[in-house]
Amino acid sequence: MQVHKLYVLLIVFLPFTVESQNCSGLPELLKFNTGNAVTTIKAWEKHKKELKKQFDEEMFGTQPPVPKGVRYKVVHETATAIGGKASRKRVNLYLNNLDHPLELLIYYPNGVKKAPAFLGYNFWGNHTVTFETDIPVTAQWSRNNNIIQDHKATDKMRGFSASRWPVEAIIDAGFALVTLYHGDVDPDFDDGFMNGVHGLYPREKYSWGTIAAWSWGLSYVMNYLEKDNRIDAKKVAVVGHSRLGKVALHAGATDERFALTISNNSGCGGAALSCRKKGETIKAINDRFPHWFTANFKKYNEKDDSMPFDQHQLIALVAPRPVYVASADLDAWADPEGEYLSAFLAGEVYRLYGLNGLKSDKMPAVHAPFHEGSVGYHIRAGKHDITLYDWQQYIAFATKRFCL
């Protein structure tokens, strides 16, 4: 064969070559671990189980089963939140022997009988999501910062994260918002897996790290949402920023009740391909956050480019349910291009289902969102954060995908 013809063939058949990016060993999505090709949906569903097991054993750790049902109590309710546009409920969920409840803060759009919803953890407690003065300050362990000392949350942080939670825009679009503090489920420090929900299950049996614990917590919240008659539980989008974006992806990959999965600037261990070794590496994340993943994951320190699995496979586990990945152009630590490429590669599995993924292996320009298929993407100008612009894209994509 003439050399130029070979080039043409390569260009036509290889949607994206990763050789130039330290990714020559990147596992192919549509191949069983034996190397046999996955060509049908049935075969993919089988391969999915292999991949799930690999992520459990090598990266996130094995979770206990999510309890059936839910124990809860509505602790406060008002129909006149957000200038009368929303109802607001505080609901406590109880778990086995956990000594404190998971405290849900829920806003419902008034006038919508059963609302589609966004569900996501917040970083600092429900009192930081809003400036409303009647949301209690969390009593759980908080990370120290220039306001918080001795890991004790304070009223001075009220509204601190309000820019990340544009409640009014969400309500105006007809969505409910459900949030809770991730520290209610598991405190974000290396405590030998003793505190939070880790303490409720034997370690010998369940190797789950904190990301898997947070994701498990979201599934328990979903048990509640299925019982809440103001929520359309078939239209719940799980959303998270940064470490909580890793959690959203894990939750979407493991619990099929999440109808849409949204990863905002999730980076290493989230949407970004590890093989590229750009931004945060596996060693860097394991060193700083040894509790996020299972012990086995440490064996991949400095082996980012030779792992038997990578993050495009995690995204693909969400298929055929829609998924959205978002980056920010100044967020080099999260490797925006790596986030884009793994979302792009996951499209192969969506195509197997007759759905569309991202069209091109080239990243779109800043503020040129792609919302046409089952894999959504945008890159925003600015730093590592979740902003009104990001939420506007999620609202638009969810409105389309949920056919609202």
Residues lying near ligand GTR in the complex (CB under 6 A): 242-243, 267-268, 280, 285
| Rounded least distance, CB 274 to ligand GTR, Å | 12
| Rounded least distance, CB 265 to ligand GTR, Å | 8
Cβ-based nearer residue to ligand GTR, 153 or 285: 285
| Rounded least distance, CB 285 to ligand GTR, Å | 6
Contact between 13 and 6 under an 8 Å Cβ cutoff? The reply is: no
| Rounded least distance, CB 268 to ligand GTR, Å | 5
Q: Number of C-alpha atoms within 13 angstroms, CB side, residue 154?
A: 10
| Rounded least distance, CB 241 to ligand GTR, Å | 7
**Three-state SS across the chain?**
CCHHHHHHHHHHHCCCCCHHHCCCCCCCCCECCCCCECCCHHHHHHHHHHHHHHHHHHHHCCCCCCCCCCEEEEEEEEEEEHHHCEEEEEEEEECCCCCCCEEEEEEEECCCCCEEEEEEEECCCHHHCCCCCCCCCCCCECCCCCCCECCECCHHHCCCCHHHCCHHHHHHCCCEEEEEEHHHCCCCCCCCCCCHHHHHCCCCCCCCCHHHHHHHHHHHHHHHHCCCCCEEEEEEEEEEECHHHHHHHHHHHHCCCCCEEEEECCCCCCCCCHHHCCCCCHHHHHHHCCCCCCHHHHHHCCCCCCCCCCHHHHHHCCCCCCEEEEEECCCHHHCHHHHHHHHHHHHHHHHHCCCCCCCCCCCCCCCCCECCCCEEEEEECCCCCCCHHHHHHHHHHHHHHCCC
Cβ-based nearer residue to ligand GTR, 95 or 268: 268
Active site residue 342: no
Cβ-based nearer residue to ligand GTR, 130 or 242: 242
Cβ-based nearer residue to ligand GTR, 280 or 390: 280
Cβ-based nearer residue to ligand GTR, 196 or 269: 269
Cβ-based nearer residue to ligand GTR, 18 or 285: 285
Which one of 215, 242, 274, 342 is the catalytic residue?
242
Cβ-based nearer residue to ligand GTR, 89 or 243: 243
Name the strands in the sheet holding 102-109, side by side, starting at the edge strand that comes first in the sequence. Answer: 71-81, 86-94, 102-109, 176-181, 115-122, 231-241, 260-264, 323-328, 375-380
| Rounded least distance, CB 243 to ligand GTR, Å | 3
Q: In terms of DSSP bridges, do strands 323-328 and 71-81 run parallel, antiparallel, or are they unpaired? A: unpaired
Active site residue 263: no
| Rounded least distance, CB 288 to ligand GTR, Å | 6
| Rounded least distance, CB 302 to ligand GTR, Å | 17
Peptide bond into 320 cis (omega under 30): yes
Residue 33, both tokens: 């671990």
Report d(CA 264, CA 164) in Å as an integer: 11
Cβ-based nearer residue to ligand GTR, 166 or 245: 245
Report d(CA 260, CA 238) in Å as an integer: 6
Q: Which residues are catalytically annotated? A: 242, 384
